[in-house]
Chains A and B, each alone.
Chain A
Amino acid sequence: MFDKYMVPTRGFQNVRENGDIVGFQMLLRITYYRGIHLSLIGSLDVTVDGEHFKPEQLRFSLGDRTYTMDELGKEENVHWPFGQPAKLIVLKPGGLQPGIHDVQVEQRIVPAYMPQGMGFPGNMRRKITLVA
């Protein structure tokens, strides 16, 4: 519902593994009005500076667990609490350059009462500054 606040400014940064930058990450708020079980996330779609990322390049992280998009679709028991931003990781060797980036995210929630295939989409596009 508050699509424009889907990705907060804080938390947008490169991800390092053993000293190498393997991608970047951002925090993600639910754009629906309640928390949901993870399998109700129909899809996540990320485009940064015009580069669209495939589902295989995305990881969703909640608490101490990280999921591929396939795993996310099957996780029926874990609940994403309404007030808790999750972390969305995009695998991209080298990550992003420090500076201002054009970030577009769509999350599609598939609640019980919406016709199948339709879902409840949330869209955000805004410029976010990556420091490191």
Chain B
Amino acid sequence: MKRGVTLYSYTGDFQMGTMNLEQCVADVADMEAEGIEILGETHVEGYPNPSEEWVGQWHGLMEKYHTKPSCLDSFVDSMLKKGSYLTVDESIAMLVRDMKLANRLGFKIMRPTFGKSPIPVPELIEKALPYAEQYDLKVAIEIHSPARIESDWMNSLLEVISRTNTKRFGFTLDMSIFSKRPPHYFEDRMLRRGAHENIVRFVGKAYEDHLGPEKTMAEVRKMGGNEADLSWASLAGVYHFSDNPPQDLLKIMPYIYHIHGKFWEMTDDLQEYSIPYETVIPVLVKGGCGAYFSSEYEGPRELFRASDQLRRHQAMLRILFGEAKETAVGRGTGD
């Protein structure tokens, strides 16, 4: 696997102007990471039709810092029109708009997010395949928590691959689907919203024990939980995370084209507090995954924080990839 960073990690610094696009790219290069992932609607000036000058500057940045475009994140905003969902043709047009952009910027992979819609995603994907061919792209939709690899949803997507035999459609694996316990960041946020400390502790334990939202909410009700407590105990709260067995990756390994190295908190001993990277990465390595592992910081949004947390994450990746054998702090990988 190759190391990269999604510039989404720097969203706050980028918006507030503490870092511009070049400074973000330079920061990634400083970690000796190679892949640069961006969001069209965040990082591309003049989206969706940047000027030739801007496109030239983009390629210039990649050359200057020895980085490569890894993945373009795209959104099919199915609720663009008030009162009705986008039609199939409108959805495809939106996707093609970003495919053209991806192609101009040198991306080989794009990750579209499809919105809530009566049109099944497999249908849209299949209609998009000829365009993926035309613009030389792999379309990699995201497997993000609360998704499960063993699920009807996943099977409906795998069915498209097996039936069409396409090499143009696969997955962006988001590490959130391996969350062992809820991140501090979210717990702290719920406490600020008025949740009770003992209940937040209980909900975290319930998640770890796979109690499920219904039972957890029933217990929280018995404990006298308030609105914040109940919201945290629900599917929209702690159960928005998921805890898939890493071995399930074997089922989809050949179709993983990109990886979001999601993380919220890299601790002082170089571990992600919620996600057991050390049990997932060996499965990917053994499976021969060659995708970009794109660090995606999504923890507390404080200016200047992403840059430091990303370095910890990248250091951990180097160790787990076997690029570096030892670590200055904490435990090693056992070899």
Contact = CB atoms under 8 A, between A and B. Distances in A.
B41 A111 contact: no
Contact of A74 (B43, B79, B82, B301): B82
Q: Which 8 A-B pairs give the minimum distances between C-beta atoms? A: A112-B115, A34-B41, A34-B42, A35-B41, A112-B77, A33-B11, A82-B42, A112-B78
B90 to A, nearest CB: 10
A13 interface: no
Interface string A101-132: 00000000011111110000000000000000
A87 interface: no
Nearest to A30: B15
A76 B113 contact: no
Interface in B1-42: 8, 11-12, 14-16, 39, 41-42
A67 B103 CA distance: 34
29 contacts: A1-B11, A1-B301, A2-B12, A2-B15, A2-B16, A33-B11, A33-B39, A33-B42, A34-B39, A35-B41, A36-B41, A36-B77, A37-B77, A39-B81, A39-B82, A40-B77, A40-B79, A40-B80, A76-B81, A79-B47, A81-B45, A81-B47, A83-B14, A111-B77, A112-B76, A112-B79, A112-B115, A112-B116, A113-B116
A5 interface: yes
Contact of A82 (B41, B48, B76, B301): B41
Given A111-B79, A112-B78, 13 more contacts: A1-B301, A5-B16, A33-B42, A37-B80, A40-B77, A73-B82, A81-B45, A82-B42, A83-B45, A112-B77, A112-B113, A112-B116, A116-B116
Contacts of A34: 39, 41-42, 75
Which size class do B's interface residues fall under?
20 to 34
Interface of A: 1-2, 5, 29-30, 33-37, 39-40, 73-74, 76, 79, 81-83, 110-116
A113 B115 contact: yes
Given A37-B77, A39-B81, A83 B15 contact: yes
Contacts of B114: 112-113
Contact of A29 (B15, B45, B81, B115): B15
Interface of A is mostly: loop
A5 B17 CA distance: 12
Given A35-B42, A81-B47, A2 B80 contact: no
Contacts of A35: 41-42, 47
Q: Which of A2, A29, A36, A116 has the most chain B CB atoms closer than 10 A to its own CB?
A: A2
A76 B80 contact: yes
A73 B11 CA distance: 26
Contact of A110 (B12, B79, B301): B79
Contacts of A79: 41, 47-48
Contacts of A39: 80-82
A83 to B, nearest CB: 7
A41 to B, nearest CB: 11
B175 to A, nearest CB: 18
A31 to B, nearest CB: 10
A116 B79 contact: yes
B190 to A, nearest CB: 16
